[in-house]
Amino acid sequence: MISQFFVLSQRGDNIVFRDYRGEVPKGSAEIFFRNVKFWKSDDGEEAPPVFNVDGVNYLHVKVAGLLFVATTRINVSPALVLELLQRIARVIKDYLGILNEDSLRKNFVLVYELLDEVIDFGYPQNTSTEVLKSFIFNEPIVVDAGRGPSLSPAAMFMQGSKRMPGTAVTKSVVANEPGGRKREEVFVDVIEKISVTFSSSGYILTSEIDGTIQMKSYLSGNPEIRLALNEDLSIGRSGHSSYDYSSSSGAGMVILDDCNFHESVRLDNFDLDRTLTLVPPDGEFPVMNYRMTQEFKPPFRVNALIEEAGSLKAEVMLKVRADFSSSITANTVALQMPLPKYTTRVSFDLEPGAVGQTTDFKEGNKMLEWGLRKIVGGSEHTLRAKLTFSQETNMNITKESGPVSMTFTIPMYSASRLQVRYLQIVKKSRTYNPYRWVRYVTQANSYVIRI
């Protein structure tokens, strides 16, 4: 099926390499990285997940800043191989606890042992973290999570008086606590990626949410777990929106277009009280995937305006407003705006007292970039930029500029208002000491504003 598997760092360093069939030249990793780094396309997009060079198919996914790559000369299902790469990354993360370059290098013996069990002569055998425990004998070397890309944006998980550090979930499923005690914990994340397109007047043209309820279990004895969602959750489009924009607490009907569940989930009572029953396998897995295209309140409103200020000059104004509670803070906010190709210089003017904001003009691709380290809910920020052109503008500048794209991460915020009402461990043990919280994370998959 696949001929080679390898993992590359962001610099192109070969961290892990396994040749299963000997059909592809040894220099394939260098060829792959050179093509990805210098990929050329008319629209300036990055290299696609699947491409062919000299009769060799390269398939890759990017996880935590690392490139997981498979090569083959035969015609295989791209979706199957890409899913295999994602599962390999998930299994490695389950065993190492944290997935980054340092953890792979320090645990290369364990990683190669996992690969030998997951793939045999290029054919996938098993990607279950729980089943692989019977065949894996090496212990992981603990690596400090630090501030690597695998860390979640939520720094603390909390509810009531119980608090737990965010690095608690970045530990190996086979590692014990100091003193040989078994960890008895279960973590639940609700992760949503939103895609929104706004018109130049600020109206929503398209909107979509792709969400996942992710669970990572460290419970022994395979106890049964009940996960309760919103009681007024509705599956299937009804053609209208029932959202009350005055609150983001989760009140109001939640309407999902469709959803699917992990194979361990039982839906005996789902239609009755929206409760999921499951016996969680070891490691990290998606309990439920869902999609929503009903109208929802976008977390940000962005206004973009560009006007001529002379024959060779123009002014751009970008304004961002956070339409969520002041108790919530968005992290790593970044805006990009393509400028006319004849733009030669850009000078920026930030609002008075601006802290944690960066600006840049990428002359190579004529891109204006504005970064904000954090945005508190309810606040508003403005950027003004003065453009200098190399030639007079004969056309409308707005037609040659934009659209504005935006990326961000908002911890403890759910755009769909889907909530986990409670998590119950049916067969309790004296060693179970659950932290009763659920972490919500909203990210921008595509946030586009036309000007």
Cα gap 362→324, rounded to integer Å: 31
For residue 445, is it within any domain? yes
Residue range 176-200, pLDDT digits in tens: 665 556 667 788 999 999 999 998 8
Cα gap 265→273, rounded to integer Å: 15
Which parts of 199-278 fold into alpha helices (H)? Answer: 270-273
- Which residue in this structure is represented by tokens 């013996």? 109
Question: Is residue 112 domain-shared with residue 15, that is, in the same domain?
Answer: yes
The closest of 296, 325, 300, 292 to 404, measured between CA atoms, is 300
- CATH at residue 27: 3.30.450.60
> Quick one: pLDDT band at residue 102, thresholds 50, 70, 90?
very high
Question: Is residue 39 domain-shared with residue 126, that is, in the same domain?
Answer: yes
Question: Is residue 260 domain-shared with residue 290, that is, in the same domain?
Answer: yes
The count of domains in the chain is: 3
Of 132, 148, 168, the last residue of a domain is 132
Question: Is residue 308 domain-shared with residue 397, that is, in the same domain?
Answer: yes
The closest of 38, 56, 55 to 46, measured between CA atoms, is 38
Residue range 144-163, pLDDT digits in tens: 665 444 434 333 333 333 34
What pLDDT is attached to residue 430? Answer: 65
| Mean pLDDT value of segment 122-128 | 91
> Quick one: pLDDT band at residue 428, thresholds 50, 70, 90?
low
Question: Is residue 325 domain-shared with residue 335, that is, in the same domain?
Answer: yes
For residue 137, is it within any domain? no
Please say if the pLDDT value at position 418 is more than 60.
yes
Which stretch of DSSP H or E encloses residue 206?
strand 204-217
Cα gap 383→368, rounded to integer Å: 11
- CATH at residue 336: 2.60.40.1170
pTM: 0.77
Residue range 25-45, pLDDT digits in tens: 889 999 999 999 888 765 557
For residue 361, is it within any domain? yes
Residue range 56-81, pLDDT digits in tens: 999 999 998 899 999 999 999 999 99
Instruction: Give the chain's mean pLDDT.
Output: 84
Cα gap 78→94, rounded to integer Å: 24
Cα gap 405→370, rounded to integer Å: 11
Question: Is residue 166 domain-shared with residue 290, that is, in the same domain?
Answer: yes
Please say if the pLDDT value at position 239 is more than 60.
no
Question: Is residue 292 domain-shared with residue 324, that is, in the same domain?
Answer: no
- Residue-range definition of the domain harbouring residue 398: 300-411
For residue 149, is it within any domain? no
What pLDDT is attached to residue 241? Answer: 42
| Mean pLDDT value of segment 349-377 | 91
Question: Is residue 9 domain-shared with residue 127, that is, in the same domain?
Answer: yes
For residue 143, is it within any domain? no
For residue 141, is it within any domain? no
Question: Is residue 163 domain-shared with residue 271, that is, in the same domain?
Answer: yes
Of 132, 167, 198, the last residue of a domain is 132
Cα gap 183→432, rounded to integer Å: 9
For residue 145, is it within any domain? no
What pLDDT is attached to residue 248? Answer: 39
Contact between 322 and 375 (Cβ < 8 Å): yes
Question: Is residue 179 domain-shared with residue 305, that is, in the same domain?
Answer: no
Question: Is residue 389 domain-shared with residue 442, that is, in the same domain?
Answer: no
What pLDDT is attached to residue 243? Answer: 42
Handedness of CA 257, 263, 268, 273 (dihedral sign): negative
Which stretch of DSSP H or E encloses residue 131?
helix 129-132
Cα gap 32→410, rounded to integer Å: 34
For residue 364, is it within any domain? yes
What pLDDT is attached to residue 158? Answer: 35
Cα gap 158→438, rounded to integer Å: 9
What pLDDT is attached to residue 221? Answer: 77
| Mean pLDDT value of segment 126-133 | 87
Question: Is residue 162 domain-shared with residue 180, that is, in the same domain?
Answer: yes
Of residues 404 and 160, more confidence is placed in 404
